[in-house]
Each structure stands twice: as C-alpha cells, then as structure tokens.
Amino acid sequence: MKRQTGKWIGLVYYIALLIFLQLPILLLIIFSFNDSVLLVFPLKGFTLEWYRQLLSATELLNAAKNSLIIGLVSSIVATGLGTMAAIAIARYKFPGRELFLNMSTLPLVIPYVVLGVALLILFQALGIGLSIWTIMIGHTIVNIPYVMLIVAARLSGFANNLEEAAMDLGATYWGTLMRVTLPISAPALVAAFLSSFTLSFDEFSLAFFLAGTQNTLPVYLYSQLRFPNRLPLAITTAAVVILISLGILLISEWLRRIGADRALKAES
Amino acid sequence: MENKRRLFFLMTPPSIWLLVFFMAPLLIMVLYTFKESTFGSFLPFTWENYEQFAQTPSFFRLLLDSSWLALLTAALSILLAFPVAYYLVFYTGARRITLLTLLILPAWTSFLLRVLAWKVILGSNGLLNQGLIGLGLIQEGVPLLLYSKAAVLITLVYVWIPFAALPLFAAMERIDPRLHEAAQDLGASPGQTFWRVTLPLTMPGIASGFFFVFIPTLGEWVTPSLVGGVDGIMYGNLIQDQFARALNWPLGALLSMVLLVLVATFSYIFNKFIPITEVPVST
C-alpha cells in the first residue's frame, strides 16, 4: 500500500521535472514557427518565414560552417592524441604516469574562462593571429581528457592477452596495435569522437576569447542576442541545432546498440 | 628497451601538445600578473596588480558571492534531481534507462540556447509575466525576474539538473536491493532504511554530482551576462571584462589565476575523497 503511494508521488514528480526541463526547449521550437517578431503569447500564426531567412543569412551559415570545421578537426586531433595517451596509460606503468594523468585531466576542472584567457595571452605573446585554428586548439585541450578516460576505460576492460597472443603468433607490435588494440577500442573511439564533436560544436566560452574575425555558431548567436528584433532568427537557428543534435544522438545510440549486439554475439 | 621506444612514441605527441597549449599558457598567464600594462615588455616586474587586487574589496566579495551562488546551484540541482533518480532506480524497473534518457535529453542541446530559452521566459514581456497577468496576480509586465541573481540561479539550476541526476542515478543503481530487504527484515522502518542504508550508499554520487556542478558554476560568466544584469554578475564576468572591454590583461590574468588556485584547491580536496583520474593498468 505504502509502496504504491510512493510510486504515484514519484511518477508525478518525474513528469513535473520532465515538463520543467523540456518545456523551455519546446517553446523555442514553437516560436520558430510563429509569425511575429515578438516572442509573446498568443501565437500570431504559422510561418516558415524565419526558416526561409535562415537559408539566406550568409553570416550565420558561415559561422555554422566554421563550427563544423572546428568540430571535425579538433575532434580528430583530440581523438588521436587522447587515444595514444590512453594506450600508454592503460598498458604501461612508467615514471611520470601519475604526473601525466594529473596534468592531462586538469582541463576537466579548469574554468573555461581561465583557459580561454590563458590561450589568448599565449597566442598574443607568440604573435599568432586569432582564427578558427586557435579555437580548434582550445577545443582539443578540453577534449583530450574525455577521450583519454573513455578509451582507457575500454582498454582496461580487456586484459592484454589478445595483444600478447597476436605477438606470440608473430605479429609486430605496430601490427598488433593496428589490428588488435585499435579494433578493440573502436566503439570507445567512436563515442569519444562524437562526444568531442558535440562539445566543440556547442562550446562558447573558449571560442569567445579565441575567435578572430571568423565566428563560430555559438559566438554568432551570442552576438545576436543583444538585438531583440533578431531573436526570432536566433531561435530558429536554435530549433535547427536542437533537431540536428537529436539526430546525432539517435545515430550514436544506434551505433552503440550495434556494438553491444556484436559484443553479445561474440561472447556466445 | 623495446617498451621504452613504444612508450616514447605513444607519449611524446600528447605530452608536447599539452605542454605547449596547456601548461605554457598557464605559466605565461602567471608571468602576466607581474606586467605593468597589457602591451609592452614584461620587465620590470611590478606588484601593482597584486596591490590593486588587495585594495579592491569588491573583487573578493564577488568571489565569495560567486562561490555561494555555485554552492546554492549545486545543492539545489542535487536536491531536485535526487527524488527523480530515486524513483527511476527503485520504482521503474527495466524502463528506467529510457525514462532517464528522456530526462537528460535537454542536456544535449546547446547550453547557450537553454539559457536563451530562460531569457525568453523570464523577460518583462516574457511568458512568466504574461502568465501572472493572465492569472490576475499582477497588473502589468514588470521585469520581476530577469536581470537578477535569482534569474542566474534558476537558469543555472535548470541547466545542471540533468548533470546532477546522472551520478545520483549511477550511485543508486549500484546499491544491492538485498540490502534494503535485509534492513527491513531486521526491523528497520522505510525511513530508517532510507537514512541509514540508501542515503549513505548514495553519498559518492551526491559528492561527484556536487563537484561537477559546483566547479563549472564557479567560473561561469555566460549565464550572468545573458540573464543576470548588473546585480547578477559573477566573478567570471570580472575576468571577461578585463579582456573584452577594459583591456587590462595583467589584472585579468591575476583575477584568472586566483580563480584557478581556488578551483585547484577544491578539486584537490575533492579528489582525496573521490578520485576521478584513477585508471587501472592491465598488463
């Protein structure tokens, strides 16, 4: 009897929290179809005007393109470097291992504003102009620890004996790395890449300090928020980004399931 | 010998990258705190910025205020997320992952956009005011909530609830249900079972949830700049201002270093209790 009551209270609370969390985002999507510059109820009518304007907003599309390039390049670099470090950390004991772990995971807790201004100072001191490449470098720094922890966790789940078997059968170390270690870590690599990309694509605070004249999408959006009459277009961009990231999420979940199925089949 | 060469090959690229683009910038930032002006040479070193920092009580007060706000944000996020994690783990069976995914879905949409949504809701023409007018509670739109500390708090809690829910959920899932049965068999009331079994075993989740909300909130400047107004600014805005507007980089570097030291201290203390960087070696 008591448990039943608890269940109902829990359900009501869950639904209330779900509404609290989802409603603001739903509102953005609804207003992106509203035929008015003002974001107020009652709704004025259905329109695709904002979406039409979106297609011809060159500045915005440029920013989106920059975000895409930065996301891809920084994720590839972070996944590569992070995986190298992860293999070393998961497979070897060496002097300085603890030191390296502490140093490389520090970006997980360092405030982005601190890292942003520190990199800004570095680039200024070296005389390097700000561009999409400086943002890209900033994003690799915050992504490397995530990649490292994700891949190392996967590798420590597997004992070293597969790799030993390959080498006993005459494979070279690098051959083993390419044909055993990396395939074992493949699901983790994909997960690490996607999480890096998502973080980079959405990241604002670092990009704000490291952007030169080329904006990223979040930096562009932020600059638009000061002008009330540009809010509808910002919100429409928001709606599109939300739908795309939902798409990416579904794809990565699907990939993860395929991976899990394969693992199950391999076990049986 | 072989191993050394492999290790060298694996470790050199990431180490160099992190040294050049992570450790070096932090070191140069520290050097900057001794600089006289934004442009010009490093020498002679000066304590001017340190003196200015020590003589401006508002810097320290803002740091304290921001720490308090971060503490409040972390506590509220966990408090609000706790019942839902409890419900999902102990009452919903196999559907719990789907239900959890629905709940944390907003966390995957852009941070900036979630803040924007609250700007729309809390504004003086915003939905909250309209709702209150509709209910006859107030006469005309007043900027009741936007541009205040409360707006920053509400928005940040909204942003962080999904992140607080995850570690709570994970910690509760690890609790062996037989422990509950055992407690009840031994005569504990549901309340006693909760306070003396469930809650202590959830503590690691509470601690890491707290940490992962508190630390990023402490360095926040984007949310306050969008919904905080003059009253709602945080310590991070002070840093951002030195670089974006005031162009006093040396002072900004010092403010930034103080924040870094504070965060590093908190992380160090926290890491003593719950290590986040422990990776087992499997050779």
DSSP, residue by residue, B132-182: HHHTTS-SS---SSSSSHHHHHHHHHHHHHHHHHHHHHHHHHTS-HHHHHH
Residues B218-259 have pLDDT tens digits of: 999 999 998 888 888 999 999 999 998 878 899 999 999 999
- Band (B29; pLDDT cuts 50, 70, 90): very high
pLDDT of the residue at A1:
47
Q: What are phi and psi of B7, to 5 degrees?
A: -60, -40
What is the ipTM metric for this complex? 0.86
Residue B165 CA to residue A146 CA, distance in Å, equals 20
pLDDT of residue A133: 94
Give the nearest partner residue to B25 out of A106, A118, A155, using CB atoms. Answer: A118
Contact with chain A for residue B210, Cβ under 8 A = no
Q: Output phi, psi for A44, to 5 deg.
A: -85, -25
pLDDT band at B100 (very low <50, low <70, confident <90, very high): confident
Across A78-92, A158-172, A174-188, B109-123, the highest mean pLDDT is recorded for A78-92
Q: What is the pLDDT of residue A162?
A: 80
More confident residue, B158 or A184: B158
pTM higher than 0.90: no
Closest CB to B277: pick one of A13, A101, A117: A101
Residue B109 pLDDT > 80: no
Instruction: Give residue A12's pLDDT.
Output: 93
A40-73 b/e (C-beta count within 10 Å ≥ 16 → b)? beeeeeeeeebeeebeebeebeebbebbebbbbb
Q: Is B236 touching A (CB cutoff 8 A)?
A: yes
What are the residue ranges spanned by the domains of chain A? Answer: 10-47, 57-267
For all residues of chain A together, what is the average pLDDT?
A: 85
Closest in B17, B111, B267 to A202, CB measured: B111
Q: How many Cβ contacts (< 8 angstroms) between chains A and B?
A: 243
| B78-249 CATH, one of 1.10.3720.10, 1.10.760.10, 2.60.120.920, 3.40.250.10 | 1.10.3720.10
Rounded Cα gap, residues A204 and B245, in angstroms? 18
Whether residue A234 and residue B116 make contact (CB cut-off 8 A), yes or no, is yes
User: Which structure tokens are listed for A136?
Assistant: 């890209």
Mean pLDDT of A210-215: 89
pLDDT of residue A55 exceeding 80, the answer is yes
How buried is A230 (Cβ within 10 angstroms: 0-12 exposed, 13-18 middle, 19+ buried)? middle
More confident residue, B277 or B236: B236
* Contacts of residue B142, Cβ cutoff 8 Å, sequence gap at least 6: B124, B129
The answer to whether the CB atoms of A25 and B102 lie below 8 A apart is no
| Whole-number pLDDT of residue A265 | 63
CATH 1.10.3720.10 fits A57-267, yes or no: yes
